[in-house]
Amino acid sequence: MITRRDLGRLALAAPVWTLFAKPNSKVSGVTIGAQSYSFRDRPLEAAISGIAAAGLSCCVLWQGHVEPRRVSREEMRKWRTSVPLRHFEEIRRKFKQAGIRIYAYYYSFRDDFTDAEIARGFEMAMALGVKYLEASSNVTTARRINPFAARANMLVGMHNHAELVANEFARPEDFESAMQGMSHIRINLDIGHFVAVGFDPLEFIRKHHREIITIDVKDRNRERANLPFGQGVTPIREVLQLLKTARYRIPAMIEYEYKGGDAVDEVRKCYEYCKQALV
């Protein structure tokens, strides 16, 4: 029998996530995970603990949990091109110890990235042990990214948002334009954003399931507000059922963005909703 005092001593001696059973969040053949951005209010170690506490065994690692914050653009560029790769190897070790698979690294290539910053993103991903990157990128950046992705033999999933802005991803044609003739450019489909700008994620997934790396799961309404799962118009249940019945091997990543309580509690609620949707 472990007493509360014993538990306290263990907690001081080891990371929180080592005190719990390793999670397994594959439900009815569908992998449910989290975008670590859901835990953006806390540093990396606390985010790992939060993902594990929510019962999830897979995640997309957001660059904000890896990179320094509140630095200038030039300082960030210098950090990206000079940070030792063992920094990422150590992060990989922490996730592995927690029983959480890093499925992709979210590293947002933009038009102002130098070639060195682009190349470094793939080196970071290799050190993290992943085969995929995701990016809130410009449409025109895809052509620059593709040769680097091809040399690294990695795929890059472009992330969409709910703003119809030139040179940003939001519409089906933005994805299709970026992928045209590009061997290693793919899709990271945010179904909440997609619905918020008037498109049908079910139809898009059926058409492009071979090009989709991951699906980000959030609920929104037509006014583009983020809401607790089940309160918006995003067909979360239908999308998860499609992944299940069609046997599409696309992980569904919970992205907690609505106004709620503690991130662990809210992500756990989102996960419970997803599990019920897959019954």
Is there a domain that residue 2 lies in? Answer: no
Query: Strands, E, within the chain: which ranges?
Result: 26-27, 30-35, 58-62, 101-106, 132-135, 155-159, 185-190, 212-217, 219-220, 226-227, 252-254
Sole residue written with tokens 């609505």: 258
Instruction: For the full predicted model, state whether its pTM sits above 0.85.
Output: yes
Say how many domains are in the chain: 1
What are the pLDDT digits (tens) for 142-185? Answer: 999 999 999 999 999 999 999 999 999 999 999 999 999 999 99
Percent of the chain with pLDDT over 90: 90
DSSP 23: P
Report the SS3 class of residue 252.
strand
- The CATH number covering residue 104 comes to 3.20.20.150
Report the SS3 class of residue 158.
strand
Question: Which domain does 224 fall in, by range?
Answer: 36-277
Is there a domain that residue 1 lies in? Answer: no
Spell out, as residue ranges, where the chain has pLDDT lower than 70: 1-20
- According to the model, what pLDDT value does residue 20 have? 60
Is there a domain that residue 155 lies in? Answer: yes
Under 8 Å between Cβ of 65 and 107: no
Is there a domain that residue 68 lies in? Answer: yes
Is there a domain that residue 8 lies in? Answer: no
Is there a domain that residue 5 lies in? Answer: no
- According to the model, what pLDDT value does residue 15 have? 62
Under 8 Å between Cβ of 56 and 271: yes
Is there a domain that residue 59 lies in? Answer: yes
Q: How far apart are CA 258 and CA 269, in angstroms?
A: 12
Q: How far apart are CA 64 and CA 51, in angstroms?
A: 16
Neighbour tally for 125: CB within 10 Å: 23
- According to the model, what pLDDT value does residue 11 have? 45
Is there a domain that residue 69 lies in? Answer: yes
Q: How far apart are CA 95 and CA 81, in angstroms?
A: 23
Q: How far apart are CA 104 and CA 107, in angstroms?
A: 9
